Amino acid sequence: MNIDAFDLNLLKALVAIYEERQITAAADRLGITQPGLSHILSRLRATFADELFVRRGGGMVPTAMAEDLYARVRPGLRQLQAGIAAPDAFRPETLERTFVLGMNDYGASVILPVLIRRMAKAAPKVRLKTRHYAHGTQFSDLRDGSIDVSVSVAGEHPGWVNSELLFREEAKVVADAANPLLGGKMTLKKYTACPHVIMAPDGGERNWVDDHLADLGVSRTVQHAVPHFHAIPAIIRGSSMISTLPARIAETLGRDAGISVYPLPFRAEAHQVVQLWPRRQDRDPVHRWLRREVRECLQ
């Protein structure tokens, strides 16, 4: 392939189809007709000798070749677009772009609803998508540009990543209001006597709570591990099981009839919730705006 003669519009089309997963939506995003985009897709297929996208379930599913091309092309295309844009060309109200945010269902429950409402006013043409990550597994996708920003509990991160503190989050305990082992009151002895349900996307059987309990010379029984916070109320209801959750999630679940919320029966530092992004995006005006929107929606 002669790279000097390569049409960058082909790459823009590939990115649009990959992110939208529909020809019609991608064509609208690019401001061209559906037949026009279909013609471009044919050129892409001929150029790379691969189907790139196959129709399935009403959408376009990328092939392995398309996945690889997107991972390599997307970051560079963004930098090129930012580099040739006039400094004052960025206006949120006219921005047409899809941002992908990395977060677990904590972020999707606490942050995403507020951010979506802000975007509806400030940048109505912006679309938000999320990808679910267990803690510490998002860095390869941050590096290749598959996600724009990741919201996570603070921890070690690579040197090419920047972080910003968003807020601090304490923990609380949720239980069935009629839990027979609690009697309406939470103590450390009762806490360790109850079987526990934890949120563990990776299927792990322990988390930070177990480290704190070990320092106190006690332990607990983790009965079940589930991948989502919102599966927990149905599991603990009508049982002696309890769960330790971020306070904002616990208080939301505590609005359900029959679920009680208790303070943690031991001292623990609040977790720091941060947003993470590649350092190469530090000065990109659109990316800076996105990070500011994430930050300010939590004030």
Residue 160: CB atoms within 10 A of its CB come to 11
Q: How far apart are CA 192 and CA 221, in angstroms?
A: 7
Q: How do residues 156-192 score in pLDDT, each as one tens digit?
A: 888 888 999 999 999 999 999 999 999 999 999 999 9
* pLDDT for 1 beyond 50: no
Q: How do residues 117-137 score in pLDDT, each as one tens digit?
A: 999 999 999 999 998 877 778
- Please give the CATH number for the structural domain made up of 1-84: 1.10.10.10
* pLDDT for 210 beyond 80: yes
pLDDT of residue 90: 73
Q: Residue 150, class by beta-carbon neighbours within 10 Å (0-12 exposed, 13-18 middle, 19+ buried)?
A: buried
pLDDT of residue 88: 53
Mean pLDDT score, 192-198: 97
Q: How far apart are CA 74 and CA 238, in angstroms?
A: 49
Q: How far apart are CA 242 and CA 268, in angstroms?
A: 18
Judged by average pLDDT, the poorest of 8-17, 94-103, 160-169, 238-247 is 8-17
pLDDT of residue 254: 82
Local confidence band at 80 (pLDDT 50, 70, 90 cut-offs): low
**Mean pLDDT of all residues belonging to the chain:** 88
Domain ranges of the chain: 1-84, 89-167+270-299, 171-269
pLDDT of residue 6: 56
- Please give the CATH number for the structural domain made up of 89-167+270-299: 3.40.190.10
- Please give the CATH number for the structural domain made up of 171-269: 3.40.190.10
Mean pLDDT score, 131-152: 85
